[in-house]
Amino acid sequence: MTRRELLKLGAMAGVSTLVGRVADAADPASFIAEKTRSIARAERPLRILILGGTGFTGPHQVRYALARGHTVTLFNRGRHTKDIPPGVEELIGDRDTGDLKALAGREWDACIDNPTSLPFWVRDAGKVLAGKVRHYVFISTVSAYADTSRPGMDETAPLAKYTGTDAMAETRATMQANLGLYGPLKAACEAEAEKQFPGITTIIRPTLIVGPGDETDRFTYWPVRVARGGEVLAPPAADPLQIIDARDLAEWTIRMTEQRAIGIFNAAGPAHELHFDAMLPGVKATMTSDATFTFTEAKFLEQQGVAMWSDLPAWVPGVGEMAGFARVSHARARQAGLTFRSLAATAADTLGWFNAQPGARRAKLRAGISPERETAALKAWHARVG
């Protein structure tokens, strides 16, 4: 798989936010510890407008903002009203059609833009919110970077360039037809944000977002697979991965809003470089499982048709054109207060959430190699190494 193909796969989850939230995607109702833990009140309550707010990270933002004492307004298409906590105002509109009338004449201290991957959405928000918000927070992606071959790249690295006819003419349909547009259009969105909200924009570029409520299963596969036990096909032991729990991202975003921290930040976890030979045993340590891990080689996996990222989720080879994909610098974000809960907490809560889903949902993971193909690949590996 080439870098271009990987970015297309990575874009699928981003594009899905434009389609709408899937049922029960972000309801961690069974995780009582998350609900009852002590959360300090903010020094100054804010009026926060969240564009979206019912997807993966949005509900975590809402709950944390309320616990911090803020007033929250959501703007979306009104398809998940029953999931919105009491006390949260919901304004209805459709950014696809330019229907932002519900925002007119209103003012907020800050606006958090979660779902946007289309530059015209940023432009239209800028028109109606000009002079009406003191701070605009845009959630972007590390897929906006042009070159992932250099480990340690920071926020100054070059961004992917849009080479189409007109970035403002791109729509949901064109995005879904060409997922390779995702990174360049996110970069174009960032530029439009700076144009529409000059001097008051914060851009956050997350890496792979994981945790309870993730309907893509791009990390969920690993806790589920380890819990099943037996011999687990694994990528090269020393290859790195970067993930961030949706709750860590959401809560830090609210704190950045409170600080009015202007600038660009890579939201990439965990705190230290993580490799598969530490991640998988770390996941196993959260459960009772007889799983064993067979770490293989990238060339072998390619020969077996086992694809990075999709068949073995969250994995890309740590060399060549992808050498820096999972080694993005998060130094600036850490200095700005980004913190990470433990891998154990993320893995355990993710597995708990998945096991609480209906049987039909649990019957087929949406990422990861099938048991039959995994068995065949393991057999080929053992035949190769004798």
pLDDT at 15 over 70: no
**Cβ 119 vs Cβ 188: under 8 Å:** yes
Rounded Cα distance, 144 and 191, in Å: 11
Mean pLDDT of 114-129: 97
Identify the pLDDT of residue 266: 98
Indicate the average pLDDT of the chain: 91
Amino acid at 168: M
**Cβ 55 vs Cβ 114: under 8 Å:** yes
138 contact partners, CB below 8 Å, separation of at least 6: 113, 116, 122, 189, 190, 193, 201, 202, 203, 204
Rounded Cα distance, 376 and 61, in Å: 43
CA angle 273, 278, 280 (to 5 degrees): 125
pTM: 0.92
The structure tokens listed for 262 are 């202007």
Range with the poorest average pLDDT among 13-27, 46-60, 67-81, 143-157: 13-27
Measured in whole angstroms, how far is the alpha carbon of residue 50 from the centre of its chain?
A: 17
Rounded Cα distance, 275 and 339, in Å: 19
The structure tokens listed for 20 are 């709408």
- Euclidean distance between the first and the last CA atom of the chain, given in angstroms as a whole number: 27
When the candidates are 1.20.1050.90, 3.10.180.10, 3.40.50.720, 2.60.40.10, the CATH number that belongs to 3-385 is: 3.40.50.720
With CA atoms as reference, report the closest residue to 354 among 368, 343, 364, 344: 364
40 contact partners, CB below 8 Å, separation of at least 6: 68
276 contact partners, CB below 8 Å, separation of at least 6: 234, 235, 236, 237, 238, 239, 240, 241, 295, 315
Identify the pLDDT of residue 81: 75
Identify the pLDDT of residue 9: 53
What are the C-alpha distances in Å from 38 to residues 34, 46, 64, 254, 338?
9, 20, 11, 16, 18
pLDDT-based confidence at residue 335 (cuts at 50, 70, 90) = very high
Identify the pLDDT of residue 271: 94
Containing H/E element for 64?
Answer: helix 58-67
pLDDT at 22 over 60: no
**What confidence tens digit (pLDDT) does each residue in 48-91 have?**
999 999 889 999 999 999 999 999 999 999 887 777 899 999 99
Parse the chain into domains and list their residue ranges. Answer: 3-385
- The per-residue b/e assignment along 234-263, b for 16 or more CB within 10 angstroms, e otherwise, is bbbeebbbbbbbbbbbbbbbbbbbbeebee
Identify the pLDDT of residue 8: 55
Judged on CB neighbours under 10 Å (0-12, 13-18, 19+), 1 is middle
pLDDT at 40 over 60: yes
Amino acid at 344: A
* Count of C-beta atoms within a 10 Å radius of residue 203: 22
Amino acid at 92: I
pLDDT at 30 over 50: no
Mean pLDDT of 200-228: 97
